[in-house]
Amino acid sequence: MTTIQSEQTRPALPSHDLTGKRVVVVGGKTGIGLGIAQAAHAAGASVTVASRRSASVADHPELAPFEQISLDIDDEEAVRAAFDAMGALDHLVVAAGSTDGSWGAFMDDDMRGVRSYTTNKYLGSWACARYAGPRLPPHGSITLLTGGIAARPKLGMTSVTSAFAAVEALGRSLALELGPIRVNTIRPGFIDTDFWTFLSEADAAAVREKVRAKFPARRLGQAADVGHAAVFLMTNPYVTGTVLDVTGGEQLVDWAF
């Protein structure tokens, strides 16, 4: 007896096509968020990018394919108003993240840093999910973004580890609470974006060299790699409540920047 299904009976594979869908990427004007916006657009979606800056298309032609919205996710009322004004969407991605309050030895800190970082990363993700949630259809999805430090802390980065872990827990909890809307988190490793401009050029070059030498994928992660993963999470109908590593294998090796 053959177990191979004929073309006629073989179930259709989920498609990566987003034609006719609206995708909103918060933090989508630069870096990883921009990579996600570009991947969603390439898959056929109409894409809205939202963040604090208003960037002219003349200066930033990479933003030409997208509708742009100005939004500060630290401000709950602004987030509520933005999603009220935006109307229906199919998929939400929250890729925004600032570095305010992210660094410092725990015993040297007071609560200002962690408050600022948590307000942005955790409460900002919470607010976007809360006010986009009612506008998402049953086939819709929410994708949140953290980083490898969620699972593997680095010295001096307790605020980041804790806020990322809270975002991942939020994702699992919302998958349960908002189902059938699917909710997932992407956990990138090193991705070569302007995020690293806080380092001197020499230090950034040294980090890139370490990544190429040590990470099992032997290359620098690109925003497009995360974009590819995000389109998968938007389109696969059975993936929810998960954290997807897009790390080049970073979690398998010892390294420090």
Ligand X SMILES: NC(=O)c1ccc[n+]([C@@H]2O[C@H](COP(=O)([O-])OP(=O)(O)OC[C@H]3O[C@@H](n4cnc5c(N)ncnc54)[C@H](OP(=O)(O)O)[C@@H]3O)[C@@H](O)[C@H]2O)c1
Closest CB 106 distance from ligand X, rounded Å: 18
E strands along the chain, which residues?
22-26, 46-51, 67-70, 91-94, 141-145, 182-188, 243-246
Taking CB under 6 A as the rule, does residue 185 contact ligand X?
no
Rule CB under 6 A: say whether 191 interacts with ligand X. Answer: yes
Task: Answer yes or no whether residue 248 interacts with ligand X by CB under 6 A.
Answer: no
- Whole-Å CA distances, 58 to 55, 64, 68: 9, 9, 14
When binding is defined by CB under 6 A, the residue of 171, 188, 227, 248 that contacts ligand X is: 188
Q: Are 73 and 26 in contact (CB under 8 A)?
A: yes
Number of residues that bind ligand X (CB under 6 A): 27
CB closer to ligand X, 22 vs 29: 29
∠ CA 226-181-184 to the nearest 5 degrees? 30
Residues 169 and 126: beta-carbon distance below 8 Å = no
187 by DSSP, 3-state: which? strand
Pattern 45-74, ligand X, x by CB under 6 A: ------xxx-----------------xxxx
We find the least distance from the C-beta atom of residue 148 to ligand X, in angstroms, to be: 6
Q: Answer yes or no whether residue 127 interacts with ligand X by CB under 6 A.
A: no
Residue among 42, 44, 33 nearest 226 (CA): 33
Only one of the segments 22-30, 56-64, 108-116, 211-219 lies at the binding site for ligand X (rule: CB under 6 A); that segment is 22-30
127 vs 79: CA distance, rounded Å = 7
Whether 188 and 32 have beta carbons less than 8 Å apart is answered as yes
The residue from 22, 29, 41, 182 that contacts ligand X (CB under 6 A) is: 29
Query: How many other β-carbons are positioned within 10 Å of the β-carbon of residue 75?
Result: 15
Of the pair 72, 76, the CB lying nearest ligand X is at 72
Residue 94 makes contact with ligand X by CB under 6 A: no
Least distance CB 12 / ligand X (angstroms): 33
Among 48, 193, 235, 240, binds ligand X (CB under 6 A): 193
User: Closest distance between ligand X and the C-beta of residue 98, in Å?
Assistant: 4
Exposed, middle or buried, 35 (CB in 10 Å: 0-12/13-18/19+)?
Answer: buried
Site residues (CB under 6 A) for ligand X?
27, 29-33, 51-53, 71-74, 95-98, 120-121, 145, 147, 188, 190-191, 193-195
